[in-house]
Homo-oligomer: A and B are copies of this chain.
Amino acid sequence: MSTVPLKPVTADFVLADVDTSSHPGVDKKSAEKELLSNHDTLADLQERLFAESKFGGTRSVLLVLQAMDTAGKGGIIRHVVGGIDPQGVHIHAFKAPTEEERKHDFLWRVRPQLPTPGIIGVFDRSHYEDVLIHRVRGFSTPEAIEERYGIITDFESEVAAAGTTIIKVMLHISSAEQKARLSERLERSDKHWKYNPGDVDERKLWPAYQEAYQIALTRTSTPDAPWYVVPADNKWYARWAVQNLLLEALQKLDPQWPSVDYDVEAEKARLAAT
Protein backbone atom coordinates (compact mmCIF):
# COMPACT_ATOMS: atom_id res chain seq x y z
CA MET A 1 0.00 0.00 0.00
CA SER A 2 1.19 3.48 -0.83
CA THR A 3 0.97 6.17 1.79
CA VAL A 4 -0.78 9.39 0.95
CA PRO A 5 1.79 12.17 1.10
CA LEU A 6 -0.70 14.91 1.96
CA LYS A 7 0.16 17.01 4.99
CA PRO A 8 -2.41 18.68 7.21
CA VAL A 9 -3.07 22.35 6.57
CA THR A 10 -0.89 24.66 8.67
CA ALA A 11 -1.07 28.41 9.31
CA ASP A 12 1.17 29.20 6.31
CA PHE A 13 -0.89 27.12 3.88
CA VAL A 14 -1.93 28.84 0.63
CA LEU A 15 -4.91 27.28 -1.13
CA ALA A 16 -4.12 29.02 -4.42
CA ASP A 17 -0.75 27.24 -4.53
CA VAL A 18 -2.31 23.77 -4.69
CA ASP A 19 -2.29 22.15 -8.14
CA THR A 20 -5.78 20.70 -8.37
CA SER A 21 -4.70 18.36 -11.18
CA SER A 22 -1.79 16.87 -9.24
CA HIS A 23 -1.79 13.35 -7.84
CA PRO A 24 1.02 13.09 -5.31
CA GLY A 25 2.02 9.60 -4.31
CA VAL A 26 0.31 7.47 -6.92
CA ASP A 27 -0.53 6.99 -10.60
CA LYS A 28 -3.98 6.22 -11.99
CA LYS A 29 -3.49 2.52 -12.51
CA SER A 30 -2.20 1.86 -8.98
CA ALA A 31 -4.79 4.16 -7.41
CA GLU A 32 -7.70 2.36 -9.04
CA LYS A 33 -6.30 -1.04 -8.11
CA GLU A 34 -5.61 -0.04 -4.50
CA LEU A 35 -9.03 1.56 -4.08
CA LEU A 36 -10.62 -1.84 -4.67
CA SER A 37 -8.07 -3.95 -2.82
CA ASN A 38 -8.26 -1.69 0.25
CA HIS A 39 -12.03 -2.13 0.67
CA ASP A 40 -11.62 -5.26 2.80
CA THR A 41 -8.88 -3.74 4.96
CA LEU A 42 -11.00 -0.70 5.67
CA ALA A 43 -14.09 -2.80 6.35
CA ASP A 44 -12.13 -5.07 8.70
CA LEU A 45 -10.74 -2.13 10.68
CA GLN A 46 -14.20 -0.63 11.01
CA GLU A 47 -15.63 -3.94 12.19
CA ARG A 48 -12.96 -4.16 14.89
CA LEU A 49 -13.76 -0.61 15.98
CA PHE A 50 -17.42 -1.55 16.16
CA ALA A 51 -16.68 -4.75 18.10
CA GLU A 52 -14.59 -2.76 20.57
CA SER A 53 -17.53 -0.39 21.14
CA LYS A 54 -19.74 -3.30 22.18
CA PHE A 55 -17.45 -3.91 25.16
CA GLY A 56 -16.90 -0.40 26.42
CA GLY A 57 -14.91 1.19 23.59
CA THR A 58 -15.79 4.84 22.96
CA ARG A 59 -13.77 5.53 19.82
CA SER A 60 -15.19 6.61 16.49
CA VAL A 61 -14.10 8.41 13.32
CA LEU A 62 -15.60 11.47 11.65
CA LEU A 63 -14.90 12.36 8.04
CA VAL A 64 -15.95 15.91 7.15
CA LEU A 65 -16.31 16.57 3.40
CA GLN A 66 -16.41 20.10 2.04
CA ALA A 67 -16.07 21.19 -1.56
CA MET A 68 -17.32 23.39 -4.34
CA ASP A 69 -20.19 21.89 -6.37
CA THR A 70 -19.26 18.92 -8.61
CA ALA A 71 -15.95 18.33 -6.78
CA GLY A 72 -16.90 14.74 -6.04
CA LYS A 73 -18.27 14.39 -2.52
CA GLY A 74 -20.88 11.97 -3.80
CA GLY A 75 -18.25 9.85 -5.51
CA ILE A 76 -16.20 9.65 -2.31
CA ILE A 77 -19.25 8.43 -0.42
CA ARG A 78 -20.14 5.92 -3.14
CA HIS A 79 -16.66 4.57 -3.86
CA VAL A 80 -14.80 4.94 -0.56
CA VAL A 81 -17.43 4.87 2.17
CA GLY A 82 -19.48 2.41 0.06
CA GLY A 83 -16.79 -0.22 0.67
CA ILE A 84 -17.55 -0.30 4.39
CA ASP A 85 -20.41 -2.24 6.00
CA PRO A 86 -23.34 0.21 5.89
CA GLN A 87 -24.18 -0.74 9.49
CA GLY A 88 -20.89 0.79 10.55
CA VAL A 89 -21.40 4.11 8.82
CA HIS A 90 -23.53 7.16 9.57
CA ILE A 91 -23.76 9.63 6.69
CA HIS A 92 -25.47 12.95 7.10
CA ALA A 93 -25.93 15.55 4.36
CA PHE A 94 -26.27 19.07 5.72
CA LYS A 95 -28.66 21.02 3.50
CA ALA A 96 -29.80 24.63 3.81
CA PRO A 97 -31.04 24.82 7.42
CA THR A 98 -34.74 24.44 8.13
CA GLU A 99 -36.75 27.09 9.92
CA GLU A 100 -36.48 25.06 13.13
CA GLU A 101 -32.71 24.70 12.76
CA ARG A 102 -32.31 28.44 12.16
CA LYS A 103 -33.84 29.13 15.57
CA HIS A 104 -30.88 27.46 17.25
CA ASP A 105 -27.12 28.04 17.29
CA PHE A 106 -25.32 26.69 14.22
CA LEU A 107 -23.94 23.60 16.01
CA TRP A 108 -27.35 22.53 17.31
CA ARG A 109 -28.11 20.41 14.26
CA VAL A 110 -24.57 19.05 14.09
CA ARG A 111 -24.27 17.44 17.53
CA PRO A 112 -26.99 14.76 17.02
CA GLN A 113 -25.22 13.63 13.82
CA LEU A 114 -21.85 12.91 15.43
CA PRO A 115 -20.80 9.26 15.14
CA THR A 116 -21.56 7.04 18.11
CA PRO A 117 -18.81 4.67 19.37
CA GLY A 118 -17.61 2.20 16.75
CA ILE A 119 -19.09 4.15 13.85
CA ILE A 120 -17.51 6.04 10.96
CA GLY A 121 -19.46 9.27 10.58
CA VAL A 122 -19.47 11.18 7.31
CA PHE A 123 -20.55 14.80 7.02
CA ASP A 124 -21.54 15.76 3.48
CA ARG A 125 -21.07 19.50 4.03
CA SER A 126 -21.04 20.53 7.68
CA HIS A 127 -20.90 23.35 10.20
CA TYR A 128 -18.27 24.89 7.90
CA GLU A 129 -21.07 26.16 5.67
CA ASP A 130 -21.66 28.66 8.47
CA VAL A 131 -18.30 30.28 7.74
CA LEU A 132 -18.25 29.59 3.98
CA ILE A 133 -21.55 30.38 2.25
CA HIS A 134 -22.42 32.61 5.21
CA ARG A 135 -19.31 34.70 4.56
CA VAL A 136 -19.72 34.75 0.77
CA ARG A 137 -23.45 35.47 0.80
CA GLY A 138 -23.49 37.67 3.89
CA PHE A 139 -25.99 35.41 5.68
CA SER A 140 -24.30 36.33 8.98
CA THR A 141 -22.47 39.44 10.17
CA PRO A 142 -18.67 39.54 9.94
CA GLU A 143 -18.56 39.60 13.76
CA ALA A 144 -20.67 36.46 14.04
CA ILE A 145 -18.50 34.67 11.49
CA GLU A 146 -15.31 35.81 13.21
CA GLU A 147 -16.58 34.31 16.45
CA ARG A 148 -17.45 31.00 14.83
CA TYR A 149 -13.87 29.94 13.99
CA GLY A 150 -13.14 29.73 17.72
CA ILE A 151 -16.46 28.10 18.50
CA ILE A 152 -15.70 25.47 15.87
CA THR A 153 -12.21 24.64 17.12
CA ASP A 154 -13.51 24.42 20.71
CA PHE A 155 -16.35 22.15 19.56
CA GLU A 156 -14.02 19.90 17.58
CA SER A 157 -11.57 19.64 20.51
CA GLU A 158 -14.44 18.52 22.70
CA VAL A 159 -15.53 15.93 20.12
CA ALA A 160 -11.95 14.66 19.76
CA ALA A 161 -11.54 14.44 23.54
CA ALA A 162 -14.66 12.26 23.69
CA GLY A 163 -12.92 9.70 21.45
CA THR A 164 -13.63 10.77 17.86
CA THR A 165 -10.80 10.94 15.35
CA ILE A 166 -11.68 13.84 13.07
CA ILE A 167 -10.49 14.08 9.45
CA LYS A 168 -11.56 17.14 7.49
CA VAL A 169 -11.22 17.05 3.73
CA MET A 170 -11.63 19.81 1.18
CA LEU A 171 -11.93 18.30 -2.28
CA HIS A 172 -10.22 20.93 -4.39
CA ILE A 173 -11.03 21.36 -8.08
CA SER A 174 -10.19 24.15 -10.51
CA SER A 175 -12.77 26.53 -11.88
CA ALA A 176 -12.20 25.09 -15.36
CA GLU A 177 -12.81 21.56 -14.13
CA GLN A 178 -16.06 22.63 -12.49
CA LYS A 179 -17.17 24.22 -15.75
CA ALA A 180 -16.48 20.99 -17.63
CA ARG A 181 -18.39 18.91 -15.07
CA LEU A 182 -21.42 21.24 -15.03
CA SER A 183 -21.35 21.22 -18.80
CA GLU A 184 -21.44 17.42 -18.84
CA ARG A 185 -24.52 17.49 -16.61
CA LEU A 186 -26.24 19.71 -19.16
CA GLU A 187 -25.14 17.59 -22.13
CA ARG A 188 -26.35 14.24 -20.83
CA SER A 189 -30.08 13.73 -20.22
CA ASP A 190 -29.34 11.12 -17.52
CA LYS A 191 -27.36 13.82 -15.68
CA HIS A 192 -29.83 16.69 -16.05
CA TRP A 193 -31.34 15.99 -12.64
CA LYS A 194 -27.98 16.66 -10.99
CA TYR A 195 -27.85 20.19 -12.35
CA ASN A 196 -29.44 23.14 -10.59
CA PRO A 197 -29.58 26.64 -12.11
CA GLY A 198 -28.34 27.93 -8.74
CA ASP A 199 -25.03 26.15 -9.44
CA VAL A 200 -24.09 28.86 -11.96
CA ASP A 201 -24.97 31.61 -9.48
CA GLU A 202 -22.63 30.05 -6.93
CA ARG A 203 -19.97 29.54 -9.59
CA LYS A 204 -19.90 33.27 -10.27
CA LEU A 205 -18.73 33.73 -6.68
CA TRP A 206 -15.73 31.40 -7.15
CA PRO A 207 -13.02 33.84 -5.95
CA ALA A 208 -15.03 34.76 -2.85
CA TYR A 209 -15.46 31.07 -2.00
CA GLN A 210 -11.75 30.41 -2.45
CA GLU A 211 -11.03 33.25 -0.04
CA ALA A 212 -13.55 31.92 2.48
CA TYR A 213 -11.95 28.46 2.25
CA GLN A 214 -8.44 29.91 2.63
CA ILE A 215 -9.48 31.59 5.89
CA ALA A 216 -11.53 28.70 7.26
CA LEU A 217 -8.84 26.11 6.47
CA THR A 218 -5.98 27.99 8.09
CA ARG A 219 -7.95 29.09 11.15
CA THR A 220 -9.53 25.73 11.99
CA SER A 221 -6.89 23.13 11.10
CA THR A 222 -5.73 21.86 14.47
CA PRO A 223 -3.91 18.72 15.68
CA ASP A 224 -7.28 17.53 17.03
CA ALA A 225 -9.08 18.12 13.76
CA PRO A 226 -6.72 18.65 10.84
CA TRP A 227 -7.78 19.79 7.37
CA TYR A 228 -6.46 18.07 4.27
CA VAL A 229 -6.81 19.70 0.87
CA VAL A 230 -7.12 16.89 -1.67
CA PRO A 231 -6.46 17.71 -5.34
CA ALA A 232 -9.66 16.52 -6.99
CA ASP A 233 -9.56 17.25 -10.71
CA ASN A 234 -8.78 13.54 -10.98
CA LYS A 235 -11.60 11.63 -9.35
CA TRP A 236 -9.45 8.52 -9.08
CA TYR A 237 -6.89 10.46 -7.09
CA ALA A 238 -9.32 12.05 -4.66
CA ARG A 239 -10.92 8.69 -3.90
CA TRP A 240 -7.59 7.00 -3.33
CA ALA A 241 -6.36 9.84 -1.13
CA VAL A 242 -9.46 9.98 1.07
CA GLN A 243 -9.48 6.20 1.43
CA ASN A 244 -5.86 6.38 2.54
CA LEU A 245 -6.58 9.13 5.07
CA LEU A 246 -9.31 6.93 6.56
CA LEU A 247 -7.04 3.87 6.53
CA GLU A 248 -4.23 5.74 8.25
CA ALA A 249 -6.58 7.03 10.94
CA LEU A 250 -7.97 3.56 11.62
CA GLN A 251 -4.56 1.91 11.54
CA LYS A 252 -3.40 4.42 14.13
CA LEU A 253 -6.38 3.54 16.32
CA ASP A 254 -5.41 -0.12 15.81
CA PRO A 255 -8.69 -1.53 17.16
CA GLN A 256 -8.53 -5.10 18.51
CA TRP A 257 -11.16 -7.80 18.91
CA PRO A 258 -12.39 -7.19 22.44
CA SER A 259 -12.04 -9.42 25.48
CA VAL A 260 -15.57 -10.36 26.38
CA ASP A 261 -17.15 -10.09 29.82
CA TYR A 262 -18.83 -13.51 29.86
CA ASP A 263 -17.38 -16.97 30.56
CA VAL A 264 -16.85 -18.58 27.14
CA GLU A 265 -16.62 -22.15 28.44
CA ALA A 266 -19.73 -21.76 30.59
CA GLU A 267 -21.63 -20.43 27.59
CA LYS A 268 -20.50 -23.35 25.44
CA ALA A 269 -21.98 -25.69 28.07
CA ARG A 270 -25.24 -23.71 28.26
CA LEU A 271 -25.58 -23.73 24.48
CA ALA A 272 -24.80 -27.45 24.22
CA ALA A 273 -27.63 -28.16 26.67
CA THR A 274 -30.24 -26.56 24.37
Contact = CB atoms under 8 A, between A and B. Distances in A.
Contact of A89 (B86, B194, B258): B86
Contacts of A54: 193
Contact of A200 (B77, B183, B271): B271
A78 B86 contact: yes
Contact of A179 (B182, B190, B271): B271
B274 A200 contact: yes
Given A51-B193, A82-B82, A193-B257, A182 B271 contact: yes
Nearest to A122: B86
Interface in A225-274: 257-258, 260, 262, 264, 267-268, 270-271, 274
Interface string A28-43: 0000000000000000
B267 A186 contact: yes
A183 B264 CA distance: 10
A54 B190 CA distance: 13
A53 B268 CA distance: 51
Interface in A172-224: 179, 182-183, 186, 189-190, 192-197, 200, 203-204
Contact of A190 (B82, B87, B200, B257): B257
Given A193-B260, A268-B186, A274 B203 contact: yes
Nearest to A83: B82
A53 B77 CA distance: 20
Given A192-B257, A203-B274, 19 more contacts: A51-B194, A54-B193, A77-B85, A82-B82, A86-B86, A86-B91, A179-B274, A182-B271, A186-B271, A192-B264, A193-B257, A193-B258, A195-B260, A195-B262, A196-B262, A197-B267, A197-B270, A200-B267, A204-B274
